[in-house]
């Protein structure tokens, strides 16, 4: 009999934000805490990733620039994406944290109705981001990390 223990894989987080500064900040901050991070700079990329992979958490911006090739179609903002997740049975339904420069009081009823776990306002506080992610994912840091101090 083997005394081998299996270390669970670090949680996978998909960050959906068009701002490269936010992408880097979130990527390095959460990666350094042991999370697996994937980035999507627009809604279409996020949809593609969710069709292929199961995520443990989504960090979703609400505002995205209009796509000039989609003139006349429904704007694809963060709530469009949340509605798509709810209507698409083939994708997983991970917890969601909104990261937006908009004051959360302006959209919190709609976010609550969409099942959003938390709302954070930009500019992001790295400690609050990590604490919120950790709380939403069950209160424990990734098991793969050797030392959190």
Select the highest-mean-pLDDT range: 2-11, 42-51, 137-146.
42-51
CA angle 135, 78, 140 (to 5 degrees): 10
CA distances from 138 to 44, 65, 110 (A): 29, 33, 24
pLDDT at 147 over 50: no
d(CA 112, CA 66): 25
**Cis amide prior to 123 (ω within 30 degrees):** yes
In the sheet that holds 57-60, the strands lie side by side as 36-40, 12-16, 57-60, 96-100, 118-121
Could you tell me what percent of the chain has a pLDDT over 90? Answer: 66
* Helix (H/G/I), strand (E/B), else coil: 47: helix
Cβ(116)–Cβ(96) under 8 Å? yes
pLDDT at 149: 36
Of 74-78, 94-98, 139-143, the least confident: 139-143
Number of Cβ within 10 Å of residue 78's Cβ equals 26
pLDDT tens figures, 20-73: 999 999 999 999 999 999 999 999 999 999 999 999 999 999 988 766 555 555
Residue with tokens 């934000």: 17
d(CA 30, CA 82): 22
pLDDT tens figures, 69-84: 555 555 678 999 999 9
- Domains identified in the chain and CATH numbers: 12-66+75-136 (3.40.50.2300)
pLDDT at 114 over 60: yes
Q: What is the mean pLDDT of the chain?
A: 86
pTM: 0.84
Residue 11: burial class (beta carbons within 10 Å; 0-12, 13-18, 19+): buried
């Amino acid at each position: 009999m083997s005394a081998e223990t299996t270390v669970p894989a670090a949680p996978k987080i998909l960050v959906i934000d068009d701002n490269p500064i936010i992408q880097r900040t979130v990527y390095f901050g959460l990666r350094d805490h042991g999370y697996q991070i994937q980035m999507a700079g627009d809604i279409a990329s996020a949809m593609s990733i969710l069709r292929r992979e199961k995520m443990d958490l989504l960090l979703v911006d609400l505002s995205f620039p209009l796509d000039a090739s989609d003139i006349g179609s429904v704007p694809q903002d963060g709530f469009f994406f949340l509605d798509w997740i709810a209507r698409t049975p083939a994708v997983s339904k991970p917890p969601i944290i909104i990261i937006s420069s908009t004051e959360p009081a302006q959209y919190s009823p709609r976010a609550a109705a969409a099942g959003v776990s938390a709302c954070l306002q930009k500019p992001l506080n790295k400690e609050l981001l990590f604490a919120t992610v950790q709380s939403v994912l069950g209160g424990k840091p990734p098991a793969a990390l050797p030392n959190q101090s």
